[in-house]
Structures are given as structure tokens and as C-alpha cells.
């Protein structure tokens, strides 16, 4: 039966991995909420499927460009510092998205800009976090 269950030993035995796992889970939940809320907000604002599709383009272009350069940046800099910086940036963008929604700014260009910035930082942050796992756990 144990082969069918998730092995939680790494979470129990490694405090550093546990912190990374919890932080990554919280970040993933926030990103999932953003992924749901942004297209919904663009559609409610514009009632246009084209505008929602353009939001995908606004996220794709920074993901591809920054994703290609992000690996080299991660190799050349302190990974922990870069991961912290991109995590703070993602949190600030989430705060800006929440603020503009609560204040009903209804600026489509701002939504596109924040979505592009979120995609760019996520393209660096996600792969960077995964590089920490081998150094935190035994083979």
C-alpha cells in the first residue's frame, strides 16, 4: 500500500525542503488565482474574447523571452537572492492586481502590463526554485 501513497519523508526530515515546499505551494496557489482572475477581469471589463486572447499573448511573449535569458541569469547570479527578488516582485504584482481590482481602475493596459510582468518573473522564479531541490535532499 505504501507504494501508492506520497512519500512525505523529505517534508518531515528536511526543514529547508519543508520551507521551500510550503513557500512554493503558497506561490502556486497565488499564481493559480491570478491565472483565473486576470482573464475573468479582462472579459468582464471588455466583454471581448479577443481581449482575453491578447492577454495570453501579453503573457507568452515575456515568458519566452525572459525564460530563455532567465536560465543564464540564474547561473550567473546568486540563486537564493534572485529567487527572493523574483518572489517579492511576484507578491508586489499580486498586490498591484488586488489594488487595481479593489479600486475599480478598469484600465486594460494596466492589466496587460501587470500580466506581462507576472509572466516574466514567474518564468525566472519557477525554474529557479526547482534547482534548489537536489541540494536540499539526499539522493
1 pLDDT exceeds 80? no
- 31-77 residue pLDDT tens: 899 889 999 999 999 999 999 999 999 999 999 999 888 888 988 99
CB contact at 8 A, 58 and 116: yes
pLDDT band at 6 (very low <50, low <70, confident <90, very high): confident
pTM more than 0.85? yes
- 84-115 residue pLDDT tens: 999 999 999 999 999 999 999 999 999 999 99
CB contact at 8 A, 52 and 43: yes
Query: What is the distance between the alpha carbons of residues 138 and 37, in angstroms, rounded to a whole number?
Result: 38
Structure confidence at residue 2 (pLDDT)? 67
CB contact at 8 A, 90 and 30: yes
φ, ψ of residue 77 in degrees (nearest 5): -115, 175
Amino acid at each position: 500500500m505504501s507504494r501508492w501513497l506520497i512519500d512525505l519523508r523529505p517534508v518531515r526530515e528536511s526543514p529547508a525542503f519543508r520551507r521551500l515546499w510550503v513557500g512554493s505551494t503558497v506561490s502556486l496557489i497565488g499564481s493559480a488565482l491570478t491565472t483565473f482572475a486576470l482573464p475573468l477581469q479582462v472579459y468582464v471589463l471588455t466583454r471581448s474574447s479577443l481581449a482575453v486572447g491578447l492577454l495570453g499573448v501579453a503573457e507568452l511573449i515575456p515568458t519566452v523571452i525572459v525564460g530563455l535569458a532567465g536560465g543564464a541569469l540564474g547561473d550567473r547570479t546568486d540563486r537564493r537572492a534572485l529567487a527572493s527578488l523574483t518572489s517579492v516582485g511576484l507578491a508586489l504584482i499580486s498586490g498591484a492586481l488586488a489594488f487595481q481590482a479593489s479600486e475599480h481602475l478598469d484600465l486594460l493596459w494596466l492589466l496587460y502590463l501587470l500580466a506581462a510582468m507576472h509572466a516574466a518573473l514567474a518564468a525566472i522564479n519557477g525554474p529557479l526554485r526547482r534547482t534548489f531541490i537536489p541540494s536540499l535532499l539526499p539522493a
